[in-house]
Structure 1
Amino acid sequence: MSSPPTAASVARNPNYSSLIHSQLYVGDLATASDAALLDTLGITHVVSCGFARPLYCGGKYKYACLDPLQDDPAANLVRYLPRVTGFIEKAVDQGGAVLVHCVYGQSRSCAVCVAFLMRRELRRKLLASRRSGAGGKTALHRPGKFSEEDKGKEGKIIIGVVDIEGGVCDMDLLRQWYNFVESRRVAMAINPGFVRQLELFRRMGCGLVRTSKGAEESNQEGSSNNPIVKRPTMSRPHASFRSFKCCCEYRESGTVARFFPSLAEYASATISKGEGGRLKEMITECYRCFQCQTYLFHRDNVLDGWTKKDETSIPQSEYWSNSAGGRECIARWQHRSKVRSRSSAKGHNTALVGNCGKVIHVEPIKWMREQMLLPSLSAGATELQCNGRLLCPVCGRKIGSWDFLQNETVSSQPYACVSVISSKVEVR
């Protein structure tokens, strides 16, 4: 009978489990199902990607279950990342060891590890920036400890979108840690949609951005901020996140739980937080209907740009389409494509903007909801139409369209569902 595996031997076997970083392992379902191996590695915390329940009960291991989460480029991974990276961070700070696993240990689990390491590195940079006196403003979700010299010094740090764009969270952060995880886990094959979401996570500040006065991003999982009118973070990356979340909710349930507040509601929340001086600035940054001058959306409701340069600059896995998860995902794509074709044949128009020139992609806003509702005889119905024409809520002029399924596969605008014709609106 062979002797049980040692932690060192397991860490060198990329097809079983891999030591990614100190106290952080990636593995497959077989690894997560082997209690003897988990004990050998000293695992105390487990992140299960795509599983609703812990594999082992009784409190021996602490679990974070990300469910539902398929290995699908259109699946919403980024909504889990602030919470799960915080879970890993806390476990490591307490001296524990973490196993992150999915079915094959190639896509979902590796993406979570890349996200954690990006967040960890960004926090380290912010700590260094603060100690040097060059730090900016805003707040981390909670203090972290990554080395002996940081213990007792971390406190709260202020970071804003300006700091991200200004170089504190530069574009090399994703590539650096993607390549690092790939060097430790040779079987890594993160699907292209998840890589894009990792880039979005980076643009959002790796889950470390808060609104003014410490209010958390209300549209992320695990938010505790609950004012009378929730005031989400105003930035284009966060608008992209909320738009993508709406598309995912629609695919899952045919409806959307929450739209971005209308400008009147957002202004009310701003005043209630003692920031009335911000209103004048907001008005000068709003888009109006060209015909009737009705305020429609703020410039930070416009989605973050995604160019061909962005597409080529992010890392890509050549192995993904040939991996087990990739083959399963492509089969799902083909099935959904057939369903989409049948819907188009029944008269659902999938190209409503047409040849109208340049368009502006914005997140769904509350005033749009009434137009999106599916005509129904039952009162209180919440099901939305897949797509349609978007009209000005006051003068009724066509200003654009929406389509909740246009980003179902990896497209040129991966988070867009609402398109406004630029000639129909203006900024004053």
Structure 2
Amino acid sequence: MSSLGASKKTSAREKESELLEREDFDAGPSNLDCIEPGLWLVTDIPSEDLLSHFEHTSEFIRTGQEQGAVLVHCYFGVSRSATVVIAYIMKKYELSFEDAFERVKSRRRFVGPNPGFTSQLHLYETMKWQVDKANVQFRMYRLHVAATQVKKVKILPQNCMDVVKSDPSLITVKPEPLVYRCRKCRRIVASASNLLPHIPKERPSWTDKKWSTEDREAMMLCSETYFVEPLAWMSSVTQSLQGKIHCPKCKSKLGSFSWIMGCQCPCGSKISPAFYLVPSKVEWSNMVQNVQVTV
């Protein structure tokens, strides 16, 4: 056999060795890899919200390692379980997604989080290895997850109720200094922190890291429409796909919402899902009145 022929045959063998084989997909104890002492990953079905559970899974793995060993598994051990393990390695060693991915991949060569899980891991890194529920990017992400669920079951499921924020008119010890009121009856309908920003002609995405930066004031944000998170006083948002938003006090129409179709702002930006207040129907105020007096 010529050296060229032998070289081609060797190259073909090497390529075959890199391919997943049937035994790699058989869920069972015969196919697992030790990522580090006391942490094992097994032989996945993507498109799930894993990010919201990273704190719990990381604590579970940490505790398990201290007591002995932990086996992390899904169907194939390629995407879902690998994502959970990578998130744990990121948090434990404060690593970037890329560095943690390479560390896990060096021990189990065919791990490969799907694009959705990869984006979740990048956001986890942006939030400094913790789930920051106040982070705008994370709030956008949870709305995206909730909208996906609403499309399936036609109502907001219980496990997504966290996207509905508390009524900003409730008495509180530390009220926000800037609020939005119904222009007709002056009832508080939103706080400044409930607003979800967007840039003219640009469709905002939870995967865009710029929403997690502290320098959003330097951005040319649109104010032609006030897009907000769903709020507890918006009674129909948990039971309907879309509808009108009315002031809970005087019943004036303040805006609309849509989980599926979204809404296009006059600036040209398409927002989905969308919960918006029309600027002419509300007014902003820094007169704090919803404060609880403490002695």
From 103, 121, 146, the equivalent of 2:75 is 103
Change (3 A) 1:405 1:187: farther
From 386, 401, 410, the equivalent of 2:241 is 386
Change (3 A) 1:403 1:178: same
**Distance in 2 between the 1:261 and 1:48 partners?**
41
From 218, 239, 253, the equivalent of 1:397 is 253
Answer yes or no: is 1:372 the counterpart of 2:272: no
Contact between 1:239 and 1:362, CA under 8 Å: does it hold in 2? no
Change (3 A) 1:193 1:360: farther
Contact between 1:204 and 1:237, CA under 8 Å: does it hold in 2? no
1:260 is aligned to 165
**Distance in 1 between the 2:112 and 2:142 partners?**
26
**Distance in 1 between the 2:205 and 2:180 partners?**
26
**Distance in 2 between the 1:42 and 1:177 partners?**
12
Change (3 A) 1:200 1:290: farther
From 12, 26, 33, the equivalent of 2:28 is 33
**Distance in 2 between the 1:242 and 1:309 partners?**
9
Change (3 A) 1:253 1:44: farther
2:192 is aligned to 299
Per-residue CA deviations over 1:326-381 (Å, capped at 9, x if unaligned) read xxxxxxxxxxxxxxxxxxxxxxxxxxxxxx9854443321111x2336xxxxxxxx
Change (3 A) 1:87 1:286: same
**Distance in 1 between the 2:196 and 2:183 partners?**
20
TM-score of the superposed pair, with normalisation by structure 2: 0.60
Contact between 2:181 and 2:187, CA under 8 Å: does it hold in 1? yes
- 1:14 Cα offset (Å): 8.2
Contact between 1:111 and 1:194, CA under 8 Å: does it hold in 2? yes
2:84 is aligned to 112
Contact between 1:363 and 1:417, CA under 8 Å: does it hold in 2? no
Per-residue CA deviations over 1:240-266 (Å, capped at 9, x if unaligned) read 35434533542454322333221244x
**Distance in 2 between the 1:186 and 1:39 partners?**
10
SS in 1 for 2:52: coil
**Distance in 1 between the 2:42 and 2:143 partners?**
26
2:217 is aligned to none
Answer yes or no: is 1:76 the counterpart of 2:49: yes
Contact between 1:200 and 1:241, CA under 8 Å: does it hold in 2? no
SS in 2 for 1:262: coil
**Distance in 2 between the 1:14 and 1:198 partners?**
25
Change (3 A) 1:192 1:87: same
2:11 is aligned to none
Contact between 1:242 and 1:363, CA under 8 Å: does it hold in 2? no
Match of 1:365, as an amino acid? Answer: L
- 1:106 Cα offset (Å): 2.5
Match of 1:254, as an amino acid? Answer: K
2:284 is aligned to 427
Contact between 2:41 and 2:82, CA under 8 Å: does it hold in 1? no
**Distance in 2 between the 1:34 and 1:93 partners?**
22
Change (3 A) 1:118 1:298: farther
TM-score of the superposed pair, with normalisation by structure 1: 0.44
- 1:184 Cα offset (Å): 5.1
**Distance in 1 between the 2:189 and 2:126 partners?**
25
**Distance in 2 between the 1:308 and 1:418 partners?**
13
SS in 2 for 1:390: strand
Contact between 1:236 and 1:301, CA under 8 Å: does it hold in 2? no
**Distance in 2 between the 1:255 and 1:49 partners?**
34
**Distance in 2 between the 1:173 and 1:372 partners?**
37
SS in 2 for 1:288: strand
Identity among equivalent positions (%) equals 22
Following superposition of structure 1 onto structure 2, how do residues 231-250 of structure 1 map, counting pairs within 5 Å?
234-237=134-137, 239-240=139-140, 242-250=142-150
**Distance in 1 between the 2:131 and 2:207 partners?**
22
- 1:33 Cα offset (Å): 0.6
Match of 1:371, as an amino acid? Answer: S
2:114 is aligned to 191
**Distance in 2 between the 1:208 and 1:421 partners?**
28
**Distance in 2 between the 1:399 and 1:422 partners?**
5
Per-residue CA deviations over 1:212-253 (Å, capped at 9, x if unaligned) read xxxxxxxxxxxxxxxxxxxxx545345335434533542454
Contact between 1:239 and 1:302, CA under 8 Å: does it hold in 2? no
- 1:417 Cα offset (Å): 2.3
Change (3 A) 1:109 1:207: same
Q: Which has the larger radius of gyration?
A: 2
- 1:175 Cα offset (Å): 4.0
Per-residue CA deviations over 1:16-67 (Å, capped at 9, x if unaligned) read 8xxxxxxxxxx9652x4135x56999997777896xxxxxxxxxxxxxxxxx
1:417 is aligned to 273
2:292 is aligned to none
- 1:83 Cα offset (Å): 1.2
Contact between 1:237 and 1:304, CA under 8 Å: does it hold in 2? no
